[in-house]
Amino acid sequence: MPNSSLLNEFLLLAFADTQELQLLHFLLFLGIYLAALLGNGLIITAVACDHRLHTPMYFFLLNLSLLDLGAISTTVPKSMANSLSNTRAISYWGCAAQVFFLIFFILAEYSLLTVMAYDRYVAICKPLHYGAIMSSRACVKMAAAAWASGFLYALLHTANTFPVRFCQGNALNQFFCEIPQILKLSCSDTYLRELGMLVVSVCLSFGCFIFIVLSYVQIFTVVLRIPSEQGRHKAFSMCFPHLTVVSMFISTAVFAYLKPSSISSPALDLLLAILYSVVPPTVNPLIYSMRNRELRDALKK
């Protein structure tokens, strides 16, 4: 039975068999990747250069854009390079690195979205204490905690996945190295590993989800008491982009990893992977700039 250490490479999913369709896939992913680079790059530049945006909300938004760039840069460039060179191969250590960095960026983003929910809660429910609670030092610590949680979780996941033994070939039914697809190639008894990581993942995800829900319950309770319609509209405008991003993130990522095996199919797995790894980094800048006048004015400059 071959050990994982003897496996030199994995074969990723090819989107098409003909060179013309592979070129089309390359151009499509190139357009998506450039859009993500442009959108997130503009937000990072605007927040860094415009002193009016040096506030906790935009500081966290800058971190979110950095994480989005990291997440899409982990998967899309390799898939484009494979299509252009007409190959499917990714090295064993390249696959391990891809798993680590993708989980790192996605989990850190989820943690950061939780922190951003707390920021909105303090801004709306405790406006008089906002400056004291969300000080520069506190914001840096919260952002650092989000990045650190992503790092530790990714390290745990990667270390739990790659010591297994592979004897079911090396072809992955996905365009990047995804843990469920990797475990399908294992000939080891991975039940306890999967169960342990599932428990950790569910506890962490559910804890963040409950925190976000409770924050928004209190936010909406306060907003609905605002007598001015303009005040309510302003408060909802502050929350709408974040709530949209959170809803999209949770619905796609959670369903991709926790969906019942009875409804699993290669086409559905591929669609969900694109929805949680490629689409959010591309559309998040649009969502945050669409109803944010300050950010739009900074981007125009």
Q: How many domains does the chain have?
A: 1
Predicted pLDDT at 260: 66
Predicted pLDDT at 4: 44
Predicted pLDDT at 139: 96
pLDDT at 258 over 70: no
Q: Rounded to an integer, what distance in angstroms lies between the CA atom of residue 279 and that of residue 245?
A: 11
Structure tokens at 211: 């925190």
Q: Rounded to an integer, what distance in angstroms lies between the CA atom of residue 130 and that of residue 123?
A: 6
Work out whether the CA dihedral 75, 26, 89, 184 comes out positive or negative.
positive
Q: Rounded to an integer, what distance in angstroms lies between the CA atom of residue 237 and that of residue 123?
A: 13
Q: Rounded to an integer, what distance in angstroms lies between the CA atom of residue 164 and that of residue 114?
A: 33
Pairing of strands 9-11, 89-91: antiparallel
Q: How confident is the model at residue 225 (pLDDT cuts 50, 70, 90)?
A: confident
CB count, 10 Å around CB of 159? 11
Q: How confident is the model at residue 262 (pLDDT cuts 50, 70, 90)?
A: low
Predicted pLDDT at 189: 66
Judged by average pLDDT, the poorest of 142-156, 205-219, 230-244, 267-281 is 230-244
Q: Which residue range forms the structural domain that includes residue 73?
A: 4-300
What number is the average pLDDT over the span 233-251? 84
What number is the average pLDDT over the span 33-41? 95
CATH code for position 189: 1.20.1070.10
The contacts found for 80-84 with CB under 8 angstroms, 24 or more apart, are: 80/25, 80/26, 80/29, 80/30, 80/33, 82/12, 82/14, 83/14, 83/15, 83/16, 83/22, 83/23, 83/25, 83/26, 83/29, 84/22, 84/23, 84/26
> What percentage of the chain reaches a pLDDT higher than 70?
93
Q: What is the DSSP string of 9-44?
A: EEEPPPS-SSHHHHHHHHHHHHHHHHHHHHHHHHHH
What number is the average pLDDT over the span 110-119? 95
What number is the average pLDDT over the span 123-137? 93
Q: Decide if 101 contacts 154 (C-beta within 8 A).
A: yes
Q: How confident is the model at residue 39 (pLDDT cuts 50, 70, 90)?
A: very high
Instruction: Indicate the average pLDDT of the chain.
Output: 86
pLDDT at 291 over 70: no
Judged by average pLDDT, the poorest of 107-111, 157-161, 266-270 is 266-270
Predicted pLDDT at 191: 61
Q: Is the pTM of this model over 0.85?
A: yes
Predicted pLDDT at 5: 45
Predicted pLDDT at 3: 44
